[in-house]
Amino acid sequence: MNGALWMLLAAGSFGLMGVFVKLASATLGTVELVFWRTAFAVLLLGGNALLRRQSFATPLLTRHLQRGLLGYVSLLCYFYGISHLPLSTAVTLNYTSPLFLALLSVLLLREKLAPPALLAMVLGFAGVALLLKPTLLGVGLWPGVIGLASGFLAGWSYLHVRELGQAGEAEWRTVFYFALISTLGGLLLMLGQDWQPLTAANLPWVLGLGVTAMIAQLAMTRAYKVGRKLLVANLSYLTVVFSALFGVLVWQHVLSIGELAAMGLIILSGILASRR
């Protein structure tokens, strides 16, 4: 199975994860949804590491903490966006992360952007403005801003992921510590609120969320390992396509010409940004 097929599996699984998040959000809050999603990853990755006798020790705990906190807040914003926006809109806003990664690389790392990357940023943010226009007129400002914040924070966290990779950190430890920090963060936040119980009605959605998230994560990791990175990165935007299709099938959300154009601009900008 080549990298393209692995990324196709990952994109479909990420799209399904969004469906399960949206369905579960009818009875569970955002913090709880993120907690169950990351707790599942902690148990699976931690258990696998114990069976393989892999070491959890790392000299890069500070970087893991920075990446974990940014990634956790990004995930909170993302799940909130999925809960309050059309699925395809929330997913597309989250996929602005390559634009913010390029922008932050300039601001924080003093990197220089090539003309294609500058064009990508212009196209991307034009797409964001076009996509958010009906959102602001419909559900209001707050969900759209939080959905966009998920992309910004994800882009920032990817800076730390890149630093961890350059420092030689194992991929599984990067994912494990992110999940662990997010799960502990969820426990702390839930201390001050009432837990909503898992019931026969929402348990299938929570299990579906956990399973699809892990399949997506593992398939994406495999895709980048065995496939051509640029092709795999471009194919990751199929998640937006799958999300749009699921939105039509499950919630009958038919996309307008303006929404399709906006998503197209954001996808194109992400592809251009990945070539910088």
Query: pLDDT digits over 205-229, tens only?
Result: 999 999 999 888 888 877 877 777 6
- From CA 266, how far away is CA 83, in angstroms rounded? 21
pLDDT of 139 over the 70 cut:
no
Structure tokens that stand for 94 in this block: 């989250």
Domain of residue 64 covers 3-273
- From CA 80, how far away is CA 257, in angstroms rounded? 25
Structure tokens that stand for 233 in this block: 């990165």
pLDDT of 274 over the 70 cut:
no
Structural domains of the chain, count:
1
What ranges in the chain are assigned the alpha helix state H?
3-24, 30-51, 61-84, 87-94, 97-109, 115-138, 141-166, 171-190, 203-226, 229-235, 238-251, 257-273
Report CA dihedral (59, 161, 13, 224) to the nearest 10 degrees.
-100
> How high does pLDDT run on average in the chain?
85
User: What pLDDT band is residue 36 in, cutting at 50, 70 and 90?
Assistant: very high
pLDDT of 30 over the 60 cut:
yes
Give the pLDDT mean for 18-43.
93
Please state, in angstroms and as integers, the Cα–Cα distance from residue 245 to each residue in 192, 241, 251, 252, following that order: 38, 6, 10, 9
pLDDT of 137 over the 70 cut:
no
Half-sphere exposure of 253 (CA within 13 A, CB side): 17
Q: Which sign, positive or negative, has the C-alpha torsion 138, 143, 145, 150?
A: negative
- Of 162 and 153, the one with more pLDDT: 153
Percent of the chain surpassing pLDDT 70: 94
User: What pLDDT band is residue 135 in, cutting at 50, 70 and 90?
Assistant: low
Per-residue pLDDT, 146: 94
pTM for the full predicted model: 0.88
* The one-letter amino acid at 134: P
b vs e for 101-113, b when ≥16 Cβ sit within 10 Å of the residue's Cβ? bbbbbeeeeeeeb
- From CA 154, how far away is CA 143, in angstroms rounded? 17
Percent of the chain surpassing pLDDT 90: 37
**Stretch among 129-143, 169-183, 187-201, 238-252 having the lowest mean pLDDT:** 129-143
Give the pLDDT mean for 162-185.
88
What's the alpha-carbon Rg for the chain, to the nearest Å? Answer: 18
User: What pLDDT band is residue 13 in, cutting at 50, 70 and 90?
Assistant: very high
- From CA 157, how far away is CA 162, in angstroms rounded? 9
pLDDT of 97 over the 70 cut:
yes
Contacts for 271 with CB less than 8 Å, ≥ 6 apart: 120, 233, 234, 237
Q: Would you give the DSSP letter of residue 6?
A: H
Q: Would you give the DSSP letter of residue 228?
A: -
Per-residue pLDDT, 190: 86
